[in-house]
Amino acid sequence: MSESTITVKGQTTVPQPIRDAMHTQPGSRLTWNLMPDGAVIVRAKTKSVLDLVGMLKAPPGKKVSIEDMNPWR
């Protein structure tokens, strides 16, 4: 188990084994989520939504118009 201390300025150092497992580097951003049971989930924000561009390809021959996608018709 890794451990760190919070300074009087509210800062802490993420232990090296955790940084390695999260594939972070200097400048990496972390997101903190407080769960209803009091648990804290910390995730490395290593990707932008723009990194997902082009990941999915439409099946050939299957085209849907914007009107058909609109749920309010």
Q: Domain range spanning residue 8?
A: 1-50
Judge whether 71 lies within some domain: no
Judge whether 56 lies within some domain: no
Q: Indicate the burial class of 67 (C-beta count within 10 angstroms; 0-12, 13-18, 19 or more).
A: exposed
Residue 41 belongs to domain with CATH number: 2.10.260.10
Q: Which of 54, 55, 27, 31 is nearest to 41 (CA)?
A: 31
Q: Give this prediction's pTM.
A: 0.56
Considering its fold, how many domains does the chain have in total?
1
Helix (H, G, I), strand (E, B) or coil at 66: helix
Helices (H) and strands (E) in the chain, counts: 2, 2
Judge whether 2 lies within some domain: yes
What are the pLDDT digits (tens) for 57-69?
877 887 888 888 8
pLDDT confidence band for 10 (50 / 70 / 90): very high
Judge whether 30 lies within some domain: yes
Q: Residue 32: which residues within 8 A CB-CB, separation 6 or more? A: 40, 41, 42
